[in-house]
Amino acid sequence: MSILILTGPYVIDNPERNVRRLIQRLRDKQQFQAGDTVLLPMQALNGTVDAFWLMRPENRERNDYWLKKLASGLKTTGVRLLIPVALTQGVGVLEMVGGQLRTLAIKPIDGGIYVEAEQTQIGMDVIFRTAAVGEPFAIPDSSDYVIVDGRGFDNGHVFLGQCRLVKKGRTRLSYLGEADLINLGEGHVCLQDVHHERFAAMQMALRCYLQNYGFERVTIGISGGLDSAVVAALAVSVVGADRVNAVVMPSCFTSQASKIDAQQLAQRLQLRLRSIDIMPAVQCIAQSVNPHLPYWANKDLMNENIQARVRGLLLMSISNADGSLVLNTGNKSELSVGYCTMYGDMVGGLAPLADIYKSDLYKLCENVPYLREMIPSNILTKAPSAELRENQKDEDSLPSYTELDAVLKDLIEGAMSGKRLRKKYGAEFANKICKMVSSSQFKHHQAPLAVCLTGRPICALTPEFFHGLLTQN
């Protein structure tokens, strides 16, 4: 008999709907036979990984009720289920067969729970993954096991259905987000390096976000730069070119090279590129506010940010008009140090790149064939620029992204102390970066929802994280 995994995705906070779907699905005799063992992920009941101590008591009781309904609905099918769930008495794994429920012994691991082969009766350990993409996940010391992971997107965290079968220490089967029903008897191995995992996670997040909130179209500002190119390619891969509003918004500082790069990108992605000149609006706003400014005001900075905010206004106007979702195009490097404009290039409902550093974005494009094919080479090789003033380059205000990201990774993911950072990178440079990150907290808290790709996205940084980071002098 077969051993199968139903990865989902499942509906968040709707166990009734999930249970009714499972009953209907598992009664299909063409797919499931008496004697089959079906493994369900942690998301099967509530559509998300439930933290027992955060759940309301009434929700645990609700789980108990719908589990009994599930057992009753499958009583005559002969199908055996193994399902992890948060119950009234705690988190556990239940065996369900013939309308009867039995609790199996579990062992906690970092990023999941597992049941030993003696309990599963399928000749291998079963590991139920609770860790999202980028979160710590430890596999117990076993040569025969199967990893069961669900699919979905919940509050920034992505679950990719990263199921894997290992026999005698060798991987026999692996999946990455593309299958809702997996038969362990049918070998399938996919590439699961960090770059493919991240791109698949962004695709899963966007797909689920659109479904959860009822969006059918997306709107993106195309600049001719790398960030917007990756987001545009991502959007086309998920919804298709005909459902992407691609808008280029040139100013008097936009180079001809950027316009050509935007056009070439649109051609490769088969996008209809719309162009809106922002200068009339920028000049109107500047002329309106200039008479009311003090003599010492920084008008240059104001004019740069007006450009970004006009672009944000135009994108949100299109979104309001046709009900599309604006995708933010900012990356983790820029957001960390505040190299972005509130209510300007920070607009959007979802930020696919907000947890990936700029230097890693280049590596992503080099290693994911789809991105390598779709993004023009000039976009990957030219110096990054916001083009808000004449001949501007990002490195006018920031270190090179290689240097910047090295410090940021040690600071954020590595949680390295200020003292160790100063010793490793030099006091002046380390203090400069730490001060930029610390002073940008107000932007971190107002950024769009990020697709989390690491264990520590910017939105997870609390004020306490920065205590003692900077020297008092």
Check residue 237 and give its pLDDT.
97
List, for residues 321-377, the tens digit of each pLDDT value. Answer: 999 999 999 999 999 999 999 999 999 999 999 999 999 999 999 999 999 999 999
Residue ranges of domains in the chain, CATH in brackets: 3-192 (3.60.110.10), 200-466 (3.40.50.620)
List, for residues 194-235, the tens digit of each pLDDT value. Answer: 999 999 999 999 999 999 999 999 999 999 999 999 999 999
CA torsion sign, 261 to 264 to 268 to 270?
A: positive
Looking at residues 84-95, what average pLDDT do you find? Answer: 87
Looking at residues 310-331, what average pLDDT do you find? Answer: 98
Higher pLDDT, 65 or 395: 65
List, for residues 93-132, the tens digit of each pLDDT value. Answer: 999 999 999 999 999 999 999 999 999 999 999 999 999 9
Regarding beta strands 80-87 and 90-97, do their DSSP bridges make them parallel or antiparallel, or are they unpaired?
antiparallel
> Lowest-confidence range among 9-23, 239-253, 307-321, 458-472?
458-472
Encode 187-224: b = buried (16+ Cβ within 10 Å), e = exposed.
Answer: eeeeebeebbbbbbbbbbbbbbbbeeeebebbbbbbbb
CA dist., res. 79 & res. 248, Å (int): 55
Check residue 244 and give its pLDDT.
98
> Lowest-confidence range among 167-181, 210-224, 270-284, 448-462?
167-181
Distances (CA, A) of 290 to 277, 296, 299, 407: 21, 12, 8, 39
Q: Which amino acid belongs to residue 402?
A: T
Check residue 256 and give its pLDDT.
94
Looking at residues 292-298, what average pLDDT do you find? Answer: 95
